[in-house]
Structure 1
Amino acid sequence: MAFGTFTTPITWQEGEYTVTRTNSWSPPGDHPTGAGMLLYVKDGILEKVEGDPEQSITKGAMPIRMLSLPEYVYSPYRILHPMKRARDKRGDDSAWEQVSWDEAYDLIVENVRRCTEQYGSNSIATFVGTGREAGNWGPTMSCRVFNSPNIVYMQSGWSCYGPRMACTSYVLGAPYPELDYASQYPTSYDDPRWQRPEVILIWGKEPLKSNPDGFWGHSIVDMYAMGTKFIVVDPRLTWEAARAEIWLQVRPGTDAALGMAFCNVIISEDLYDHDFVEKWCFGFDQFAERVQTMSPAEAAEICEVPEEKIIEAARMYAKAKPAALQWGLAVDQKPNGIQMGFCCLAMMAITGNIDNPGGNIMGAIDIGGLGSGYTDLDPQSKINEMIGVDEYPAMVRTQQFTHPDTVLDELEKEDSIFHMGFFTSANAIANPCNLPKRWEKALDKLEFNVVMDIVMTPTAEAVCDLFLPVNTYAERDMYVATHYGACGTWIGAIKKAITVGEAKSDITIMRELGTRLRPELWERYKTDIEYIDDQKLCTLKTPDGRPLTMQDLFDHGSYHVDYEYRKYEKGLLRPDGQPGFMTPTGRIELYSTMLEAWGDEPLPYYEEPPTSPRSTPEYAEEYPMVLSTGARTWSYFHSEQRHVPLLREVEPWPLVDINPKDADRYGLHDGDWVWLENDNGRCKMKLSVQPGQKEGALASQHGWWYPERDASSPSLFDVYEVNVNNLVPYKTIGKLGWGAPFKCLMCKIYKAEPSADIDRIEEVYHG
């Protein structure tokens, strides 16, 4: 273990400014990368922010989302006091009235106790979002405050990170493996234990824009400058693809066929690591036989990429020492996603690039309680009561969340178990939910709904009765951990610099509610720091052997886990201390006994997307374009930050990318407003003609709404006009309940009229 090597304290005076060293997380939203920041405050006002050059991971660089923090903090759209309205006034923006925190808490306590007495505590559902800090506290809020196991992430098939995490659990028995970018070392790339990857295979991911799940995207640029070569699998010409040695412009939704073909080449050409496979892998012969059923020629036809490029890319990855694989959201967002994830893990394993310097690193058994909030809850006592556990046990028991599609089923019943909802970091209607109008109608049936957020959102406006204002990371003490702690490499301090209004932190709200509802569990914690020290940091040890505390992070700025490679050789991945992996066989399972036990095939297989030119040719005649949603942007994190002028100036409108040949075919031009439509619904976006976009395929942004438009129903900031999730079908998911076709839809595209107020909005945001 080692602390950071900062030369200045966490706060200091610089002329008129008090400077505070901190790390970003949320809100405003961003995945847990922890961009190092210096906050400059004068007379209690945050005036400017700069990157922290001494932060070992980000080294002074910052996403534009972080640079816009002052505009975010002082935005006129922010809500700074609790507000309530009557249930029969939902959707009426004028009905909100300011209340005190005590009155807000009294309303929640009254309704929790009423629901618990009348229907049981399981009638309360906690709805959580993705990535933002509060997503980490959702399980704790649900289980420890409301005594309900019904924690709900509302995206069909839990299609964000969940399939990859589950597949890793089944195959490796460990947390998600990540590219080794030296985040575990205070001196970063200069540590002699680290080795630069010779090749990085980037599959369905754009890390430079997304900084996903704790990975610092700019490290890709650093390694590229050092000489690392890229192989990129993506239908779009991303920054990474433009610099790749090999770019495979795959047809969206066909990745599992390509992954099987990669494994076929590596094994048939004897490019695999015999020693690692023999010692540490289970089921190699069966796996090898299965991938022989997908030849590079067949994969080339399915995926619409040249056969010779598939072979060349597989050879290049297998021969590189070391090599790393970055697998992204495109793996999750298809019903066949678990199988693609299986192939990714197998490629890491058979080439010996698991937990090695410059390969894919792994978390250990104990991640310090930094994950999803279950370490102090014993969820097994109520997991059998979770919604969806009978229909999709593999998902519910692995993820320990309810199944989102079955939650919608339950909400729509006349005698639904659910009667109260608590929304934390969850703008469901604008972001994760497919068929969002259906979700809105179902959520509106609940008797009492509470939301914690920064600004009024479409979801809060549509279905909520009480609004609790959350503060930003500039206004709270907290920590940030890469990969939510799952890879256990680095923890940084978030230090309070300012106070704005009456907004409170997610933990403060949870702690104060918990003290009122279940004092036996909460009243001993008088501050957020006491709770964090006792429940989150306590299992991590400082260099002198005592438990890590928030004060240590404030004193030193950051903490780096004493990382060990090849933990499987040292008994560090198993609770019994034996060498190997925490799977039923003790090895990486290329023949997955867990998948077999859950009722799926134990070996990877390929299935066409539910609708595609090959699987549904008649449907494709009416809806001929393949649509991949969720394209990442520089400016926004999912549905957040649309109200920030700087960011709207950079990226003012929702975009959908199209190849020039397709644009000509449909008589469209760059900058046109267009409708995307299929039999589920439609949405309006602005067209961006991109020569690097795959012909026959579209790539759209997501999470859009217009904060400057009418808040009240039915408008709800015109969220339904621009919500691409209108096109995503219900419960079109994989066999075990994972993955939905967010990135392999079919649609038609045609010209739309611009909105009538477009000139006014240009004036609002762009002068």
Structure 2
Amino acid sequence: MVGLAAAFGSGAMTNSIEEFENTDLILVTGSNTKEMHPVISSYMKRGVKKGKTKLIVVDPRKTELAEFAEVWLRQKPGTDVAWLNGMMNVIIAEGLYDKEYVANRTEGFEELKKAVAAYTPERVEEISGIPKDDLIAAARLYAKAPAASIAYAMGITQHINGTEAVKSVANLAMLCGNIGIEGGGVNPLRGQNNVQGACDMGALPNVFPAYQTVTSPEIREKFAKAWGVKDLPAKAGLTIVEAVNAASEGKLKALFVMGENPMVSDPDLHHVKDGLTKLDFLVVQDIFLTETAALADVVLPAACFAEKEGTFSNTERRVQLVRKAVDPPGDALPDWQIICGISKRMGYPMDYPDAEAVFDEITKVTPSYAGMDYHRLANGGLQWPCPTKEHPGTKVLHKDKFVRGKGLFSAIEWIPPAESPDAEYPFMLITGRVLYQYHTGTMTRKSIGLNERYPECLIEINSRDAANMGIQDMDDIRLVTRRGSITAKAKIADVVEKGMVFVPFHFAEAAANNLTIAALDPLAKIPEYKVCAVRVEKAAG
């Protein structure tokens, strides 16, 4: 992603959550915000209700948020690059782009213009299914807004061209001068609590904290000195899917899984189980005995959020201090104490008196956190970058210039998904979340109230498809892909289009990821969770 991580905060929002309520326009794509991020969606809905904010929603499902939209575009899954290029085609052809911004703050415009010229509204309609007049209306609405924000989530990223789709989102925002202004921005909505913080701390295979690359000799020397060691590896590590592949091939012998449940969350679960069971040694550190922990040689009980001190960094880059409310049960310990204990036994002593001491070290090696301390975080937190003790934190990124200097336009071509419907597997499967469950259900499925609202996996199917197949509401149906099958109850609704089915991935007993494909984005190495070909059958009996 040339220039992208530096330009757009490595997955963090360029702007702030509160701005959604007061901006002129929000384009939401790849995000069922009302169910995935209900608090954030409340800001969006308030803006619309006040008459201040116009909303464009791009989603293959007719979600509740679409009811608030001025324009709802129902695209075929996996066609995001095409319709984004189509919007830019209209904006450039009609001269609606911000010419001064493009001239002064960006580069690569001519290459972008040439690339999107082929994506006429007529061609985009053929690719995406979005009516050309609707695409034109959305493009004009976005381009003419004084300040327009783009909010997206994993519906954009979890494709084999997810990186290219994010670049396309950045292209559209820069084209209309919407980076570096209040109410604008490129605003990815993180999928789990503290995903942003984990990435900030270097929980990625190719970077140290603050996205400082492991391939840089200067950076390695900096961290080697800070940590009191001679050498640090210069080679990037493996992503989750790559690690599972290596385990399956016998190349990876041991794995430490911390706060993750790949036996529900990762694609092609039969392959995941094969890899994990072939390991010589599997350790899982978690607060409950998850489906993954059940396969482990050793399970380390960890403290939950309310049982420890520390910080969380949220999707708007806000670092927030949490205080321990209750003691952890039994032998459970905070994560940092477990890691320190293991490190000490392996010959590298990590001696910290408390979590605050860990954070003090973080600020010394993480420039974007350098101005923070527990005292400053006590009153609602600070948004990075916060480089000095006098700095107030940063509400809006890239106000005057991008980290790389000028914003770089990228000429992107659309490619189809790794797997499309055919005669044997005629339906398109999409996966996602529901309001009343969370991620792999490790915590929420232990809540009586939440399980009363959404107790089991429901497969959404269009009413016309159901009628053609003789399927009644709440009948058991079976979904089959080239990788596996699941059986669950049918939920007949025109939320999904004809020829499409939707499955939430929270339910281990009907795990959507038994069906999904492990095809990877070649750059970000993210699996194509969101789309694959599937067959629908009435379940026997």
- When the two structures are superposed, what TM-score results if normalisation uses the length of structure 1? 0.61
Question: In the TM superposition, what is the alpha-carbon distance from 1:691 to its structure 2 partner?
Answer: 2.2
% identity of equivalent residues? 25
Secondary structure of residue in 2 paired with 1:354? coil
Inter-partner Cα distance in structure 2 for 1:541 and 1:271: 36
Of the candidates 633, 636, 650, which is equivalent to residue 453 of structure 2?
650
Superposed counterparts of 1:618-767, under 5 Å:
620-641=422-443, 642-705=445-508, 719=509, 722-730=510-518, 732-736=519-523, 738-752=525-539
**Corresponding position: 1:178 with 2:13:** yes
Q: 1:221 aligns with which of 29, 33, 45?
A: 45
- Distance in 2, matches of 1:362 and 1:372, equals 21
CA distance in 2, matches of 1:283, 1:231: 27
Residue identity in the other structure for 2:238: T
Contact 2:478 2:487 in 1 (8 A): yes
Give the 5 Å matches for 1:24-63. none
The answer as to whether partners of 2:28 and 2:152 remain within 8 angstroms in 1 is: yes
Identify unmatched segments of 5+ residues in structure 1.
1-165, 184-188, 385-396, 571-579, 592-602, 614-619, 706-718, 755-767
Q: State the Cα distance separating 1:588 from its structure 2 match.
A: 1.2
Residues 274 and 195 (structure 1 numbering): CA distance in 2 closer, same or farther, change over 3 Å?
farther
Partner of 2:273: 440
Higher relative contact order (CA 8 A, sep 6+): 1
Relative distance call for 1:278 and 1:177 in structure 2 (3 A) is farther
- Cα deviation, 1:213-245, whole Å, max 9, x if unaligned, reads xx8343222322332111100011112111111
Q: Indicate which of 312, 330, 336 corresponds to 1:501.
A: 330
The CA distance in 2 between the partners of 1:332 and 1:669, in whole Å, is 34
User: Hey, what does 1:423 align to over in structure 2?
Assistant: 257
Q: Among 312, 320, 327, which residue is 1:492 paired with? A: 320
Check if 1:590 corresponds to 2:423. Answer: no
* 1:466 and 2:298 are equivalent in the alignment: yes
Q: Based on CA coordinates, which of the two structures has the bigger radius of gyration?
A: 1
Query: Contact between 1:469 and 1:503, CA under 8 Å: does it hold in 2?
Result: yes
Counterpart residue number, 1:199: 25
How far apart are residue 622 of structure 1 and its match?
1.7
- The yes-or-no answer on 1:478 pairing with 2:310 is yes
C-alpha distance in 2 between matches for 1:246 and 1:478: 42
The 8 Å contact of residues 369 and 536 in structure 1, kept in 2 or not, is answered as no
Which amino acid in 1 is paired with 2:437? S
For the residues of structure 2 that align with 1:399 and 1:318, how far apart are their CA atoms? 43
Give how far 1:694 is off. Answer: 1.6
Shift of 1:203: 0.6
Q: Which residue of 1 aligns with 2:419?
A: 611
- Name the SS of the counterpart of 2:534 in structure 1: strand
Q: Deviations over 1:507-562 (max 9, x none)?
A: 22112222333445x12x122221122224886899xxx953324444x3534563
**Pairwise CA distance, 1:361:** 6.4
Q: Deviations over 1:375-408 (max 9, x none)?
A: 3997347999xxxxxxxxxxxx999551444433
Matched, 1:348 2:193: no
User: How is 1:395-410 mapped onto 2 (pairs within 5 angstroms)?
Assistant: 401-410=237-246
1:372 aligns with 2:202: yes
Q: For 1:658-683, what per-residue CA distance to the aligned partner results, in whole angstroms no more than 9, with x for missing partners?
A: 11111111111211121111222111
1:479 is paired with a residue of what secondary structure?
strand
Q: Secondary structure at the match of 1:685?
A: strand
In structure 1, C-alpha distance between the alignment counterparts of 2:242 and 2:15, rounded to whole Å: 37
Q: 1:569 to 1:534 in 2, by over 3 A?
A: same
Which residue in 2 is equivalent to 1:515?
Answer: 344
Look up the SS of the partner of 1:629 in the other structure. Answer: strand
Q: 1:398 to 1:662 in 2, by over 3 A?
A: farther
* Separation of aligned partners in 2, 1:403 and 1:450: 17
| Structure-2 change in CA distance of 1:667 and 1:537 (3 Å) | farther
**Alignment equivalent of 1:288, drawn from 87, 100, 113:** 113
Q: Which residue does the alignment assign to 1:412?
A: 248
Question: Measured at CA, do residues 581 and 511 of structure 1 come closer, stay the same or move farther in structure 2, by a change above 3 Å?
Answer: same
Gaps of 5+ in 2: 189-196, 221-232, 387-391
Q: CA deviation at 1:206?
A: 1.4
Letter in 2 for 1:558: G
Aligned match for 1:326, one of 151, 155, 171:
151
Contact 2:382 2:393 in 1 (8 A): no
| Change beyond 3 A, Cα 1:701–1:569 | closer
Q: For 1:282 and 1:749, how far apart are their aligned partners in 2?
A: 48
Q: Give the match for residue 549 of structure 1.
A: 373
Partner of 2:284: 451
Closer/same/farther in 2, CA of residues 314 and 647 from structure 1, 3 Å limit: same
| Aligned equivalents of 2:213, 2:420: Cα separation in 1 | 43
One-letter amino acid of the structure 2 residue matched with residue 178 of structure 1: M
